[in-house]
Amino acid sequence: MYPFTYHRPASLDDARARLAASEDGRPLAGGMSLIPTMRFRLSSCSDLVDLNAIDGLAGIERHEGGIRIGAMTRHAAVEASAEVREAIPALAALAGSIGDVQVRNRGTIGGSICFADPAADYPAGILGLGASVNTDRRSIAADDFFTGLYETALEDGELVVSVDFPVPERAGWAKFGNQASRFAVVAVMVSLAGGAVRLAVTGAKSHVFRVPEMEAALAADFSAEALEGIAVASEGLNEDLHADAAYRAHLVGVMAKRAVRAALAP
């Protein structure tokens, strides 16, 4: 690590002010990705503004339109939430598949989507369920939020406050995880709501993406068999030690079918 100044503001306004006043400040949520990269000296900042002491950023609410999850809500809370399990069990399954117990007890939904790791799980949840991301300035639709490798639509100093998930008729989560980190090699969230299908893939490209051919086939026939023969091209897919592009492309097909089966499971 390189030296930095640590802040622990008690309000969102104070956090914003401190970030604005810093030369190269970064907000800290659960720290499950940021801290390791800082420890490896892969990243550094002048100021670290810890959001953990700010009231009102964590929590899960069921309301008429769906479920609202506060940005500082831990993965373990989402995994265990009776509201989430009842309304969107696939989202609870996603949260329960992240990392290990320690990571889930510490990591947050806001931190995960802002860091926008290409292999993080939540981006698929956001995009596959058609959620919207509420910041201290505006609401951003899922389709507009993730813009590239570790990149989002957030502006400088903009802080995520909560995420709104609509409740689908059906949704399913399937993940092929890296054995060590449990990050997704390929994971798929699929949902069916009002006849519209969303199918989002994480782990396979620079950032989460939808697969329109699969969505169209599923809109006509929401079954695993409907995906038979629909291949995702391996061009442009991630390649690393754990999976080359061809294997990843294959896994997208396999995980998409498994996600659909999970969505159809009683």
Partner 1 sequence: MSERGHIPESRQREKPRADLKWIGKSMKRVEDPRLLVGKGVYTDDVNLPEMAHAAVLRSPHAHARIVSIDVSKAAALPGVLCVMTGADAAAVCDPLPTWASPPVLQPAIAHERVRHVGEAVAAVAAEDRYIAEDACELIEVEYAPLPPVVDPEEALASTGDAVLHPDRGDTNIALERKLTFGPVEEDFAAADLVIERRFRWPRSGGQPLETVGAVASYDEGSGRFTIQCNTSMYNYCGWMIADTLRVAPHKLNIVPTLAGGSFGSKMFVHKVPIIAAALARAAGQPVKFMEDRIDNTTSCDNHASDRVYYAKLALKRDGTLLSLKTRIIDDYGAYFQFGVGQHGNALSQCVGPYRINSVEVDLAAVLTNKCQQGAYRGFGSEVANFVIERLVDAAADELGMDRIALRRQNFIQPDQFPYLIPTGNMYDSGNYQAVLDETLKLADVEHWRAKQAEARAEGRHIGIGIATCQERSVFSATEFWMWNLEPGVEWTSSPDGVSVKIDPTGKAFVTLHSPFWGNSPETVAAQVLAEQLTIDPADIEITYSDTDQGLNSTGPGGSRFTVMVTGAIVGAAGKIREKLLRIAAHLMEADVRDLALEDGAVHVKGVPDMKMSIAELADKAHYYRLSMPDDLDLTSGLDATYVYDHPVTTLPDADERHMGIFYPIMGHSCHIPVVEVDIETGQVHFLHYAAVHDCGTMVNPMTLEGHIRGGTVNGIGTALFEEFRYDEAGQLTTALWTDYLIPTIKESPADIVVGHVETPSPFTEYGVKGGGEGGRMGGPPAIAAAIEDALKPLGVTIDSLPLLPSRLRALIREAQAKQA
For partner 1, the closer CB: 87 or 199:
199
For residue 112, give the 3-state DSSP assignment. helix
Question: Which residue, 22, 100, 86, 8, is CA-closest to 54?
Answer: 8
Nearest CB to partner 1, comparing residues 126 and 174: 174
Task: Report the nearest approach of partner 1 to the CB of residue 176 (Å).
Answer: 6
Q: How many CB atoms lie within 10 A of CB 194?
A: 7
Q: CB of 241: closest distance to partner 1 in angstroms?
A: 5
Minimum CB–partner distance for residue 87 and partner 1 (Å) = 28
| Closer Cβ to partner 1, 14 or 244, answer by number | 244
Compare residues 68 and 258 and give the one whose CB is closer to partner 1: 258
Q: Which residues bind partner 1 (CB under 8 A)?
A: 176, 178-181, 241-244, 247, 250-251, 254
Q: What is the dihedral of CA 8, 11, 12, 15, to 10 degrees?
A: -30
Which residues are 14's β-sheet partners? none
> Of the two residues 70 and 253, which places its CB atom closer to partner 1 in the complex?
253
- Burial string for 229-255 (b: 16+ CB within 10 Å, else e) reads ebebebeebbeeebbebebbbbbbbeb
Q: Which is nearer to partner 1, 21 or 101 (CB)?
A: 101
We find the least distance from the C-beta atom of residue 178 to partner 1, in angstroms, to be: 8
Q: In the bound complex, what is the minimum distance in angstroms from residue 191's beta carbon to partner 1?
A: 23
Residue 4: CB minimum distance to partner 1, A: 13
Q: Beta strand 47-50 with 5-7: parallel, antiparallel or unpaired?
A: parallel
80: nearest Cα among 63, 101, 65: 101
CB nearer to partner 1: pick between 94 and 243: 243
User: What is the nearest approach in angstroms of partner 1 to the Cβ of residue 62?
Assistant: 32
Identify the CA nearest to 14 among candidates 70, 56, 58, 54.
54
| SS3 state of residue 216 | helix
User: How far apart are alpha carbons 9 and 224 in whole angstroms?
Assistant: 49
